[in-house]
Amino acid sequence: MNAFPPPYTAVDDVVDALRTRGCAVLSPTTLAAICGVDLEALKAWRPGWDDLPPDAYLKDGGRYRRRRHSCFVQAGHRLTQVPHRAHWQSEDYNALHGGMHRWFEPMEPALLETPAWSTLVTGLGDVFSQVRDAGDWHVEAHQFRIDTTDGIGRPTPEGAHRDGVDFVAVLLVGRSGIKGGETRVFEAEGPAGQRFTLTEPWAALLLDDHRVIHESTPIQPVDKAGHRDTLVLTYRAGAFQGED
């Protein structure tokens, strides 16, 4: 089956697309332009996905997910890392893993201390503030590797979902030796939806979590074991989940 190409949003239309459709799909060059970040600096992060610890909380018994997690507060253009904390979602948003305080290993300082990190995260936060200005952003950053250790890997084992935040950014870091991993986005309160496959490193999907639900289909190996690496950033006003 041929993959559906991503419906890239023009750089000048990103904010309007989020306002009107709740979704924008960015090419790598558009991501770099709206955040003011050098793509070569992002590409230099790629080795950081090779040593992610296993996710010990998968309730389906799978071994296909590895991850790290760190949290930040964006106040204006200033990004501050907060003390390491658990990742928590209510069962309303994650029926599979909700209600648990999940402690993952923090992201490595070697990545977080690069100038490109704060530039990327605050650049996306500035875009989201143009859509809905809600004050400071409480940002959770997740490094994911989904592999085919078990023959199949599930990027979203909880199925089509919302994350319980204001905005979500899903950035493809890379994929190798796999098929599948199709992205699907649907209106939360309507019939419209779209499907496509991100294949270019540092292509990104931006979502208004109030308006749309999303999922990624399972991945399968091609010839030999493969993987799909992503960076997921969530932005929530007021507090981190579980604090309010």
Residue 23 in any domain: the answer is yes
Cα separations (Å) of 69 from 4, 24, 155, 173, 244? 30, 24, 16, 16, 20
Cα separations (Å) of 80 from 45, 73, 84, 106, 123? 20, 5, 12, 15, 14
Q: pLDDT by residue for the chain (244 residues), tens digit each?
A: 457 999 999 999 999 999 999 999 999 999 999 999 999 999 999 999 999 999 988 867 778 999 999 999 999 999 999 999 998 766 655 545 555 778 899 999 999 999 999 999 999 999 999 999 888 999 999 999 999 988 899 988 877 888 899 999 999 999 999 999 999 999 888 778 899 999 999 999 999 999 999 999 999 999 788 999 999 999 999 999 877 6
How many angstroms separate the CA atoms of 111 and 119, rounded?
12
Note down the domain range covering 167: 11-237
Residue 199 in any domain: the answer is yes
Residue 139 in any domain: the answer is yes
Residue 156 in any domain: the answer is yes
Supply the pLDDT for residue 87. Answer: 85
Strand partners, 222: 224
How many angstroms separate the CA atoms of 66 and 53, rounded?
5
In three-state secondary structure terms, 44 is: coil
Supply the pLDDT for residue 159. Answer: 76
Residue 15 in any domain: the answer is yes
Supply the pLDDT for residue 223. Answer: 79
Residue 4 in any domain: the answer is no
Supply the pLDDT for residue 49. Answer: 97
In one letter, which amino acid is 232? V
Question: Helices 28-35 and 115-131 meet at what angle, rounded to 10?
Answer: 90
Residue 24 in any domain: the answer is yes
Q: How many structural domains does the chain have?
A: 1
Structure tokens at 165: 């935040």
Residue 51 in any domain: the answer is yes
Supply the pLDDT for residue 224. Answer: 81
Instruction: Give the CATH number of the domain where residue 15 resides.
Output: 2.60.120.620
